[in-house]
Amino acid sequence: MQKLTDSLSPQDRKKRLIYLLLSAIPVMGSYIFNRGFHIPFLDCPLLRYVGIPCPAWGLTRSFMAVARGEFTAAIAYHVFGPILFLGFLLGCFHLIVELIQGRKIGTVYTKVIQNPKFQIFCFLILLSYHGVRLEGLWRCGELYQTITQSPLGLWLIN
C-alpha cells in the first residue's frame, strides 16, 4: 500500500529529473567520447596547471573502456571506474522508475549511499588508492617531471 508521503511532489519530480540528467552525463559521455568527440576544457585542470593528477585520474578512459566492454582495460585505467559506471547506470534506472511510478522508492543501496560513514569510508579508500598511484609515479620520476613542466612548476623554478 502506497503512503501519501511516498508520492513525489512536483518539486521532487523536478529534482529527480535533474539528478537523472546529471547521472546520465557520464554514461552518455563515455559512449560519445568513444565516437571520437572530445571537449578540451574537460581535461584535468589540476594536472594541466600543477602537474599532479587528481583522484579521478583515468576515470574518463575507464568509463570509455566499460562502454566498449573492455573491463580489464577499464580496471587498469581506474579500479573504481567500472563500479562507478555501474552506479551511474543503477542511479539512472532507479530515478526513471521513481519518475514513472510517481513515488519514492526506498532501497538498501539508497540507504547505504546516503550514510555519512559510508561516504567517508569511500572517500578515504579513494584517497588511499590515489596516494598509491601517485607514489608509483613518484618512484618512476614521472610525477617530478610533470610538476616541473607544469605552469606552476615553471613559475616556481623561474
Task: Please report, in tens digits, the pLDDT of each residue of the chain (158 residues total).
Answer: 445 458 999 999 999 999 999 999 999 999 999 998 887 777 788 888 999 999 999 999 999 999 999 999 999 999 999 999 999 999 999 999 999 999 998 888 889 999 999 999 999 999 999 999 999 999 999 999 999 999 998 998 88
Instruction: Enumerate residues 6+ apart whose C-beta is below 8 A from 46.
Output: 52, 53, 54
- 72 CB neighbour count, 10 Å cutoff: 8
Rg of the chain over Cα atoms, rounded to whole angstroms, equals 20
Domain boundaries, the chain: 4-157
Specify whether the CB–CB gap between 74 and 93 falls below 8 A. Answer: no
Specify whether the CB–CB gap between 75 and 82 falls below 8 A. Answer: yes
Residue 69 Ramachandran class (φ > 0 left, ψ -120 to 50 alpha, else beta): left
**pTM greater than the 0.95 cutoff:** no
The pLDDT, as a whole number, for residue 16 is 94
Specify whether the CB–CB gap between 90 and 23 falls below 8 A. Answer: no
